[in-house]
C-alpha cells in the first residue's frame, strides 16, 4: 500500500467532481485542504479543512499549497464560457497552481483535463493520448494550455503531473449522453 500523504490540496472542492473526491481523498492523507470560491462546503470530513480562495490569485495559491505533497487540481470553469472568464479561472488559475507548486516543492499535481483538448478529431477516429491537441472550444484550449504547462514543469523542473482527460462524469439522462456525442 502506498504511504499516506501528509497534506493534500483539492481545488474545485465545491464542484461536482470535487464533492465526489473529498471523502476518499480525506482518507488518503493526514490533512486534506479543500478549496474553492464558495463561502463554505458544508460539513467537513475528518482531517479536512476548507480555504476559500481564488485560483487567479497567485499569493493565495502559494499560501494554500505550502507544505503540500500533492495537489488535485479540479477547480475551473467546467464548460465553455466567455474567453475572459476562462482566461482567469482556467489559464491564469492553472499557471498559478503550477507556479505555487514549484515554489513550495510540491511533488505531484493531478489535473482534471478534458476530451475537449482533442475535441475536433472526428468521433469515429480512434486516437491515442499522444496526438497533437485539437481543441474544440476556449474551454478545451485552456485544457491544452494546462497540459503543456504540466509537460514544461516536468521537463524543466521535475514537477510530476498526471493529466486526466475526463470524458464525462455526470448522470446519464439521455441516449445522447450514453453515446457521449
Active site residues: 139
Closer residue to ligand NAD, CB minimum distance, 6 or 49: 49
Q: Any contact of residue 146 with ligand NAD (CB under 6 A)?
A: no
> Taking the C-alpha atoms of 94, 100, 104 and 108 in order, what is their torsion angle to the nearest 10 degrees?
0
Closer residue to ligand NAD, CB minimum distance, 2 or 167: 167
Q: Which of 1, 2, 169, 181 binds ligand NAD (CB under 6 A)?
A: 169
Nearest alpha carbon to residue 24 among 48, 40, 52, 6: 48
H helices of 46-88, in order, are 58-64, 83-86
Binding mask 61-100 for ligand NAD (x = CB under 6 A): -------------xxxxx----------x---x-------
**What span, in angstroms and rounded, lies between the C-alpha atoms of 158 and 17?**
27
Sole window of 35-43, 102-110, 153-161, 171-179 interacting with ligand NAD (rule: CB under 6 A): 35-43
* Residue number of the CB atom closest to ligand NAD: 15
Distances (CA, A) of 101 to 31, 61, 71, 143: 17, 8, 8, 18
Q: Are 34 and 52 in contact (CB under 8 A)?
A: no
Q: Which of 15, 26, 64, 68 binds ligand NAD (CB under 6 A)?
A: 15
C-alpha cell at 173: 439522462
Kindly list the residues in this chain that would bind ligand NAD in the complex (CB under 6 A): 12, 14-18, 36-38, 54-56, 74-78, 89, 93, 112, 114, 166, 168-170
Amino acid at each position: 500500500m502506498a504511504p499516506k500523504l501528509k497534506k493534500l490540496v483539492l481545488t474545485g472542492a465545491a464542484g461536482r467532481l470535487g464533492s465526489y473526491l473529498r471523502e476518499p481523498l480525506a482518507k488518503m492523507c493526514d490533512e486534506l485542504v479543500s478549496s474553492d470560491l464558495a463561502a463554505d462546503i458544508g460539513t467537513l470530513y475528518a482531517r479536512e479543512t476548507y480555504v476559500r480562495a481564488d485560483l487567479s490569485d497567485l499569493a493565495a495559491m502559494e499560501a494554500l499549497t505550502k507544505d503540500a505533497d500533492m495537489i488535485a487540481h479540479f477547480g475551473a470553469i467546467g464548460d465553455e464560457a466567455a474567453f475572459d472568464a476562462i482566461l482567469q479561472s482556467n489559464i491564469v488559475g492553472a499557471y498559478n497552481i503550477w507556479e505555487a507548486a514549484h515554489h513550495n516543492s510540491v511533488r505531484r499535481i493531478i489535473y482534471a483535463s478534458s476530451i475537449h483538448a482533442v475535441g475536433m478529431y472526428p468521433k469515429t477516429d480512434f486516437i491515442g493520448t499522444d496526438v497533437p491537441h485539437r481543441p474544440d472550444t476556449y474551454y478545451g484550449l485552456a485544457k491544452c494550455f494546462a497540459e503543456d504547462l504540466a509537460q514544461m514543469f516536468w521537463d524543466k523542473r521535475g514537477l510530476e503531473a498526471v493529466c486526466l482527460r475526463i470524458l464525462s462524469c455526470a448522470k446519464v439522462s439521455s441516449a445522447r449522453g450514453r453515446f457521449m456525442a
